Structure 1
């Protein structure tokens, strides 16, 4: 039986929960752009594991090819790509959607991306960089908080009422800028508006100077599966430009991707 968003604690106490698998995945997740190489002590610290447990997990992952040793430190091995690209391949998005996103980014002279919902975050599955807007560099696999991201709000608008209610109960909004909406009742109203209008526009909520507009991609059943966006720098007329000029091109690109991607490769979004 699939585990619901609010059942995490109960499931971890059940006999079906495999703690060693969870800990092994935590070791892999300890590596990121700022932590490319880690010592055993650092891995243990970042995963809240004992040094002995971290050592056993790292050595096992090294044997399987997911981690490799560099002197006294470790870094991810090439085989870890199979985990991510297996997922991308199952969606069949990379080959089919990327040329269309590249064309969109070229036409609007901005970056364009595609993301899916994963709990409280969105995860980038495609990224076409354009003009540098954010202070951090985003790539495939990057995560951003869903509550204040345009693609996040689009994906949340596709959840069933019960799933969205459970998502809201777990949402702990953090104020990233003076413009960030953190009131849960206001967030509910915003997502309801996104559902009605079919797009989300976010202005300087995630980072000052950053705006984004996003639209959904729907599967054969009409359910929202993924979202695509265009990011742009803020200026006083950014909202009007985004809605009047960029939105129609985003919607055109979304329709083209929906036509290209086989229906069974676009599952409905889940929290």
Structure 2
């Protein structure tokens, strides 16, 4: 593994640990030898991307504001703030739940924007920095609905369906996933319950650009399952679909989507 790849791996790891990790923890989690971890951390500290001191190995290393600031600057330059955010805010206001936008990047989904509609009571907001696990997320299933079953099988060929970090509602086999995809195609939206966190549910649709029916991202609404039940999802569906169409129509104006 090159030092460049190790640097990226450390940055990605620390996005999920805002209070930081100690050097031995970083080395252990990423299976990087301690001397190599020390060299990479030294470079990242010197460049200003990580805060921490190499003189005290017991101290924690955490991301500096530099990397998030670069990300926010990039998203602002792509027009997400001016173009996309009002659409998300409007949908969040109508639904009273968490609305999230993800874009397709290769064979992965990347979260780029969100809006929280619930101002009090039970709130649902997943941890920032987590990878989108396609089989267990409404967003992932919404994207998979746009693919053929053969394409889905190829993408999921090496997927670990037995991973322990998902809830009891997550599909545990490729056949279970394909059954969920079939149901989603039939009713027009994907939905999950107890897939990531027990007691939560989510629904999502693909954002499809014309011409060509090209999926460029997904749009979801998520919240406590006691509120966002099947009946409520059917009420929300027209708003969700309309917002996805609006995002698709606006996508040509943003370089964020033109990269796809």
Same fold, judged at TM 0.5 (above)? yes
Give the equivalent residue in structure 2 for 1:68: 51
Q: Is the 8 A contact 1:133 1:209 kept in 2?
A: no
Residue 58 of structure 1: CA displacement? Answer: 0.9
**5+ long unaligned stretches in structure 2:** none
**5+ long unaligned stretches in structure 1:** 1-17
Residue 197 of structure 1: CA displacement? Answer: 4.3
Distance 1:35 1:97 in 2: 27
**Residue of structure 2 aligned with 1:77, choices 59, 64, 89:** 64
Aligned residue for 1:80, secondary structure, equals: helix
Give the equivalent residue in structure 2 for 1:105: 92
Mark the CA change 1:122 to 1:265 in structure 2 (over 3 Å): closer, same or farther: closer
Cα deviation per residue 1:215-260 (whole Å; 9 max; x = unaligned)? 11122332111111111322398112211x1000111111222222
Aligned residue for 1:261, secondary structure, equals: helix
Give the equivalent residue in structure 1 for 2:41: 58
Q: Compute the TM-score of the two structures, normalised by the length of structure 1.
A: 0.78
Mark the CA change 1:150 to 1:267 in structure 2 (over 3 Å): closer, same or farther: farther
Mark the CA change 1:160 to 1:21 in structure 2 (over 3 Å): closer, same or farther: farther
Q: Quick check: 208-217 or 68-77, which moved more?
A: 68-77
Please tell me whether residue 116 in structure 1 is matched to residue 103 in structure 2. Answer: yes
Please tell me whether residue 256 in structure 1 is matched to residue 239 in structure 2. Answer: no
Aligned residue for 1:30, secondary structure, equals: helix
Q: Quick check: 180-189 or 117-126, which moved more?
A: 117-126
**Residue of structure 2 aligned with 1:39, choices 6, 22, 31:** 22
Please tell me whether residue 170 in structure 1 is matched to residue 161 in structure 2. Answer: no
What is the number of equivalent residue pairs in this alignment? 249
Give the equivalent residue in structure 2 for 1:231: 222
Residue 98 of structure 1: CA displacement? Answer: 1.1
Distance 2:231 2:167 in 1: 21
Q: Is the 8 A contact 2:101 2:218 kept in 1?
A: yes
Give the equivalent residue in structure 2 for 1:222: 213
Distance 2:232 2:198 in 1: 18
Mark the CA change 1:39 to 1:191 in structure 2 (over 3 Å): closer, same or farther: same
Q: Within 5 Å, give how 1:146-185 maps onto structure 2.
A: 146-159=134-147, 163-173=151-161, 174=163, 176-185=166-175
**Residue of structure 2 aligned with 1:29, choices 3, 12, 36:** 12
Aligned residue for 1:227, secondary structure, equals: strand
Q: Compute the TM-score of the two structures, normalised by the length of structure 2.
A: 0.81
**Residue of structure 1 aligned with 2:202, choices 201, 212, 220:** 212
Give the equivalent residue in structure 1 for 2:113: 126
Distance 2:79 2:7 in 1: 27
Give the equivalent residue in structure 2 for 1:15: none
**CA RMSD of the aligned region, Å?**
3.0
